[in-house]
Amino acid sequence: MSRLRKDPRAERATKTVAEAGRRPRLDLGRREASPASGRPRRDPWREWAASLAGETVTGPERKRYDRSQRQMNRADAARFAKERQSLDATDISPGQPALRVVEAPAFAVFAVVEAAGGRLSRFDRQVLGAARLLADAGDGGGAVVAIVPESVEALGEAGADRVLALPGAATPAIRASMLRSAVEEHGPRHVILAEEGDSADIARRLAACLGEPLFADVEHLTARQAVRAIRGGRAEIGLAPPRLMTIGEDRAKPHEAVPCEARPLEDAAAARLDDPAILSVEIIPGDPAKLALSETDFVVSAGNGVNDFAAFRDLAAVMKATPGASRVVCDAGLMPRQAQVGASGTVLAADCYLALGISGAPQHLQGIAGCEHVIAVNTDLHAAMIERAGLAIVQDAQLVMPALLKLLQERGA
Ligand SMILES: Cc1cc2nc3c(=O)[nH]c(=O)nc-3n(C[C@H](O)[C@H](O)[C@H](O)COP(=O)(O)OP(=O)(O)OC[C@H]3O[C@@H](n4cnc5c(N)ncnc54)[C@H](O)[C@@H]3O)c2cc1C
């Protein structure tokens, strides 16, 4: 690559200001365009002074690392661009968000998701992503039908064309019989569930009810093949994707392209079902303060930048979050060792992580690699945790904690 040679004399001449009756002087504040890129050069000192004076600093957006591990690879990015192009060319009016509509699907692929609390977990998104893969692979184009226990947010973004709610399904036994009637009514080409918790149980019950084989714990899924380990992991078996299957965690990619329609689907048969053996059902939420860090959805953590631990504990309690800490805080005996988040503590599976006064050392970041939403409170704008966070508050944690508490109390939390 050939680069333009610098000409210091010409650069100096452009900055020289000649005024009548005075000696020529250099205007060092002048920012001429970079000869290589043509973009104006940034002046960090001037931006800093402007931000201190409360002025808005404009200019090209700064690049930042995305450490959420959700980047698209090249193939996905190309597919995404292609889909968006074709949608732009058809039914999308300017200002409207792009939406993928499958009007008359050739077949259906059921994706059974847990969606605890009405929100999709990472694993739920992967199950929907696997279903999307199978639906897009079929001839004529299929539709992904998300089977949900209640009303769930953002199903379209996760790749669902249709949504079938099976409410009141308290136990795996009832959910399996509801699912069976839905399968008999809609005749999906594939039914895919997570190889975890209730979903794994439902999958086995459904297979027994339908009298069909279950291909459990798929480790690798493509449009043509589903592969799983056999003989204790010493060998593997691959088949054309079968009708009933469960998939392991982190074995499929979530859908990241254009959002789908998520149109509600009516199902009359499901509402009739009940289990006479169950007299009453009450879901009792666990106490977040006593839950294991690896099992909780929302963690609030204190680092070396926190010294008001009474406010920290109050905040965690009001937010119904599980308290965590960095190693420095646990080493100092300010929090118990089991609260330590990180490579040598607990690796979280939480959806949301609020880090108060934590620098974001690599060992700590390893513990939150799977967290979808990270919020950082730190006085140092350049802390690695701020770079990792989706939302950052550059402020003293001792001021932020009571302010948040006050806000939550005003809102009656
Ligand atoms: C083998 C090994 C394993 C390790 N495993 C882990 C692990 O599992 N988990 C872990 O956490 N660490 C682990 N560590 C330690 C890790 O390297 C860091 O030392 C540690 O995470 C730092 O904790 P910290 O961010 O709380 O403290 P510091 O590094 O001291 O950072 C404090 C942060 O708080 C900010 N701050 C200061 N005052 C305020 C204020 N008033 N308001 C807001 N912010 C403020 C500062 O800007 C700074 O960013 C490990 C280290 C080793 C060598």
CATH code for position 218: 3.40.50.620
Closest CA to 110 of 56, 180, 53, 27: 180
Q: Are residues 165 and 240 in the same domain?
A: yes
- Write the burial class of residue 372 (CB in 10 Å: 0-12 exposed, 13-18 middle, 19+ buried): middle
The torsion angles phi and psi of 117, rounded to 5 degrees, stand at 70, 15
Q: Is the CB of 379 under 6 A from ligand 1?
A: yes
Q: Is the CB of 246 under 6 A from ligand 1?
A: no
Pocket of ligand 1, candidates 334, 364, 365, 366: which has the most ligand atoms within 8 Å of its Cβ, to mutate?
364
Which two structure tokens, joined as six digits, stand for 11? 């650069």
Pocket of ligand 1, candidates 294, 299, 300, 304: which has the most ligand atoms within 8 Å of its Cβ, to mutate?
304
Considering its fold, how many domains does the chain have in total? 2
Q: Are residues 80 and 204 in the same domain?
A: yes
Q: Does residue 12 sit within a domain?
A: no
b/e burial code for range 132-161 (CB count within 10 A of at least 16 → b): bbbbbebeeebbbbbbbbeebeebbbbbbb
Q: Does residue 388 sit within a domain?
A: yes
User: pTM higher than 0.95 for the full model?
Assistant: no
Please report the atom of ligand 1 found closest to the CA of residue 383. 49
Which amino acid belongs to residue 32?
E
Q: Does residue 22 sit within a domain?
A: no
Q: Does residue 181 sit within a domain?
A: yes
Q: Does residue 99 sit within a domain?
A: yes
Pocket of ligand 1, candidates 312, 378, 388, 400: which has the most ligand atoms within 8 Å of its Cβ, to mutate?
378
CA of 48 to the centre of ligand 1 (A): 26
Q: What is the pLDDT of residue 62?
A: 62
Q: Are residues 267 and 298 in the same domain?
A: no
Q: Is the CB of 305 under 6 A from ligand 1?
A: yes
Q: What is the pLDDT of residue 7?
A: 84
Please report the atom of ligand 1 found closest to the CA of residue 360. 25
- Full residue range of the structural domain in which residue 323 is found: 293-410
Please report the atom of ligand 1 found closest to the CA of residue 358. 25
pLDDT of the chain, 413 residues: tens digit per residue: 567 788 888 888 888 888 778 888 887 666 655 555 666 677 778 777 887 777 766 666 666 665 554 555 666 666 656 665 655 544 445 555 578 888 888 899 999 998 887 888 889 999 999 999 999 886 768 899 999 988 888 899 999 999 998 876 567 888 888 889 889 988 999 999 999 988 999 999 999 999 999 999 999 999 899 999 988 888 889 999 999 999 999 899 999 888 898 998 876 555 455 566 666 666 677 888 888 999 898 999 999 999 999 999 999 999 999 999 999 999 999 999 999 999 999 999 888 999 999 999 999 999 999 898 999 999 999 999 999 999 999 999 999 999 999 999 888 76
Q: Is the CB of 326 under 6 A from ligand 1?
A: yes
Pocket of ligand 1, candidates 307, 309, 340, 344: which has the most ligand atoms within 8 Å of its Cβ, to mutate?
344
Q: Are residues 82 and 200 in the same domain?
A: yes
The number of angstroms, rounded, from the C-alpha of 309 to the middle of its chain's C-alpha atoms is 29
Q: Are residues 202 and 164 in the same domain?
A: yes
Furthest CA-CA distance within the chain: 102
Q: Does residue 16 sit within a domain?
A: no
Q: What is the pLDDT of residue 89?
A: 47
Q: Are residues 168 and 309 in the same domain?
A: no
Q: Are residues 323 and 198 in the same domain?
A: no
Q: Are residues 79 and 225 in the same domain?
A: yes
Q: Does residue 282 sit within a domain?
A: no
Q: Does residue 69 sit within a domain?
A: no
Q: Is the CB of 158 under 6 A from ligand 1?
A: no
Please report the atom of ligand 1 found closest to the CA of residue 326. 11
Q: Is the CB of 327 under 6 A from ligand 1?
A: yes
Q: Are residues 303 and 213 in the same domain?
A: no
Closest CA to 124 of 195, 206, 204: 195
Q: Is the CB of 324 under 6 A from ligand 1?
A: no
CA of 122 to the centre of ligand 1 (A): 27
Q: Are residues 130 and 174 in the same domain?
A: yes
CA of 326 to the centre of ligand 1 (A): 6
Please report the atom of ligand 1 found closest to the CA of residue 303. 26
Q: Are residues 253 and 306 in the same domain?
A: no
CA-to-CA distance for 260 and 128, rounded, in angstroms? 11
Q: Is the CB of 156 under 6 A from ligand 1?
A: no
Q: Domain boundary at 211, 237, 271, which?
A: 271
- Write the burial class of residue 201 (CB in 10 Å: 0-12 exposed, 13-18 middle, 19+ buried): middle
Q: What is the pLDDT of residue 290?
A: 86
CA-to-CA distance for 221 and 223, rounded, in angstroms? 7
CA of 314 to the centre of ligand 1 (A): 22
CATH number at residue 370: 3.40.50.1220
